[in-house]
Structure 1
Amino acid sequence: MTDAEVEATGTATEALEYVERARGYLYDLHQLIGRADLLYKKAADQLDAVGRSELAELIRSEMVGVNVLHGRWTFQMVEEFDDGYWTTAREVSRAVRNEVTGGHRHVQEAELKEQNRTSGHPVHEATPRENN
C-alpha cells in the first residue's frame, strides 16, 4: 500500500470516528428527551395535586409522550440511524480498510507510533505483548 492510500484510509477512518461520536450524541438526545418526558409527566401530576388541572392537561397534551420528530419518538430516530447511516458508514469504512490495508486498523497511527517510540524503552513498547 502506498502512503497516499494509507492516508486516504486514515481519513475514512476519521470520518467513521466522527459518525460514532454523532451516534453517541444521538443516544444522549434519546436519554435526555426520555428523562424530560418523565419530568413533564411528574410536573403534570404535581400540578393536578395542587388543583392546577388546566396546566396539567396542557403539559400532558402538548409534551408527555409526543413525537419529537414527525411520527417518531427518539428510540425510532436511534433505530433508523443505526439501521441506515451508521451501518452503511461502518460497512464502507471496513471495505476501504480491507481493500487497502488487508483489514488492519489504524495503520497511519501505528506508523506514527513506530516513528516516535524509543525501541527498548519500557513505556515505548511496540505492542502490548512485547514485554510478555
Structure 2
Amino acid sequence: MADPHRRPEGVSDETVEALGSLSKALETTECARGHLYAFHQLTGSADFELDRAVELLREAGHPEWAERVRREIVGRDVIPGHWTFQVVEAYDRTYYEPFRDLEREAVDRLAEGRGHLYEAELKEARRTRDHPDPTSGGAAG
C-alpha cells in the first residue's frame, strides 16, 4: 500500500498547498466547534447553578429576588426559540458537516484520499536530521 502521506504522482505543489489551506480552515472550524460545545456546557452549568442561587436567595430572606431569577433567567432560551443544544445542532447540520464532507471529498478526488500532504512534506523539510527522535517519512508521527 502506498504511504498515506506521500504525494501521489501528478499532484502539483499548488494542489498540495490548496488542500493544506482547506484542511487548516477545517481544523480552525473544529476549534470553533469545540468552543461552541464549551458554550453549551458552560451555559448549562450556569443554569443549574441558578437553582442554588435561587435557594440561597430564599434562605437569605430575599424571596422576591429568588423568584425573579427563577422566572426571568432559569431555563431561558439563549436565542429566541433555542437552547444551546439546538445552536450546536444547527451549526453541525448547516456548516460543520457540509464543510467536513467537502474537505474529505476534495482530498479523495484531488489527492487520492491522502490527507495532510502539506504537513507531511513540511515535517520532512523541517525535521531535525541529526537527532534520533524525528523520523523520516510521512507515516511516522
**Equivalent residue number for residue 93 of structure 1:** 103
TM-score, normalising length: structure 2: 0.84
| Paired AA for residue 108 in structure 2 | N
Q: How many residues align?
A: 129
Q: Does the 8 A contact of 1:67 with 1:73 survive in 2?
A: yes
CA shift for structure 1 position 128: 3.2
5+ residue gaps, structure 2: 1-10
Superposition pairs for residues 31-110 of structure 1, below 5 Å? 31-110=41-120
CA distance in 2, matches of 1:51, 1:116: 66
Give the superposed CA RMSD. Answer: 1.7
Residue 125 (structure 1) aligned with residue 135 (structure 2): yes
Q: Which has the higher helix share?
A: 1
| Paired AA for residue 39 in structure 1 | E
| Paired AA for residue 135 in structure 2 | E
| Paired AA for residue 75 in structure 2 | G
Equivalent residue for 1:15, pick from 25, 45, 60: 25
- Structure 1 residue ranges, 4+ long, deviating more than 6 angstroms after superposition: none
CA shift for structure 1 position 51: 2.5
User: How many percent identity over aligned positions?
Assistant: 42
TM-score, normalising length: structure 1: 0.89
CA distance in 2, matches of 1:124, 1:44: 57
CA distance in 1, matches of 2:75, 2:48: 9
Farther off after superposition, 15-24 or 48-57: 48-57
CA shift for structure 1 position 117: 3.1
| Paired AA for residue 32 in structure 1 | L
The superposition leaves residues 93-120 of structure 1 with CA deviations (integer Å, 9 ceiling, x where unpaired) of 1011111111111101111112233568
CA distance in 2, matches of 1:115, 1:38: 51
Farther off after superposition, 4-13 or 118-127: 118-127
